[in-house]
Chains A and B, each alone.
Chain A
Amino acid sequence: EAQVTQNPRYLITVTGKKLTVTCSQNMNHEYMSWYRQDPGLGLRQIYYSMNVEVTDKGDVPEGYKVSRKEKRNFPLILESPSPNQTSLYFCASSSLLRDRDHEQFFGPGTRLTVL
């Protein structure tokens, strides 16, 4: 089954304690990205990756890091989380090939609370 998986699904942590949210896709997609969802603001892109070792900032990158060492994985790293990073996070992937549909496939979301 084609899917995007995220772990953990829920996380409560404290300010300053480094954490990583994992994202993995099994569709051989080139493009992967992270979004955060906040009330009234919809989803906003944090970082994206066009392929292995190619990453770039989205609209709200401050306080986050990413890496793309393998095509299937795109972890989101919060080195020193703060309460304003309390949010719902989504990973998404899609194909960049010109002859493929560019539909975004979303993971199930990770609810993060930073105390």
Chain B
Amino acid sequence: AQTVTQSQPEMSVQEAETVTLSCTYDTSENNYYLFWYKQPPSRQMILVIRQEAYKQQNATENRFSVNFQKAAKSFSLKISDSQLGDTAMYFCAFMKHIFNKLTFGGGTRVLVKP
């Protein structure tokens, strides 16, 4: 079974600064997807970024980027130029290729301070 671990329960960052969230996972699979989801106070689950394991290039989406280290089974999320609207819970998630079940980490609460 896969496990996903987020070791930072809470983080705070000043507006316009950069924050990095860590995520490690355990799997014996070779083909899989990794995701970061954002959950603002509205509780909606919002996909931030996804990474396919067979792609060596790290995914980026505007101010969000990942550092994917397949051998180390690490998948960190960097939020650059943090904005007040980035305040949310962030979840790292794993999905086996074509299996569709998501396995989530425990979450990291991010607070962006003005």
The reply to whether chain A is a binding partner of chain B is yes
Which residues in B have their C-beta under 8 angstroms from that of A35? Answer: 102, 104
Q: Dominant SS at the B interface?
A: loop
Q: Does A18 contact B (CB under 8 A)?
A: no
Name 30 A/B residue pairs within 8 A (Cβ), A-sorted: A31-B100, A33-B101, A35-B102, A35-B104, A40-B9, A40-B106, A40-B107, A42-B6, A42-B106, A43-B93, A43-B102, A44-B104, A45-B103, A48-B100, A90-B45, A92-B45, A92-B102, A94-B100, A102-B33, A102-B100, A103-B47, A103-B50, A104-B47, A104-B102, A106-B45, A108-B42, A109-B43, A109-B44, A109-B45, A111-B43
Most buried by A among B6, B33, B102: B102
Q: Given the complex of chains A and B, what is the CA–CA distance between A42 and B44 in angstroms? A: 14
Q: Mark B91-114, 1 if CB is under 8 A from A, else 0.
A: 101010010111111110000000
How many residue-residue contacts, CB under 8 A, span A and B? 53
Known A40-B107, A108-B42; further 13 A-B contacts with Cβ < 8 A:
A33-B100, A35-B104, A41-B106, A43-B93, A43-B104, A45-B101, A90-B45, A92-B102, A102-B98, A102-B100, A104-B100, A104-B102, A108-B43
Which residues in B have their C-beta under 8 angstroms from that of A98? Answer: 98
Q: Does B4 contact A (CB under 8 A)?
A: yes
Which residues in B have their C-beta under 8 angstroms from that of A111? Answer: 43
The number of chain A residues with a CB under 8 A from chain B is 24
6 nearest A-B pairs in the assembled complex, by CB-CB distance: A42-B104, A106-B45, A43-B104, A109-B43, A31-B100, A42-B106
Q: Which of A35-72 contact B (CB under 8 A)?
A: 35, 40-45, 48, 58
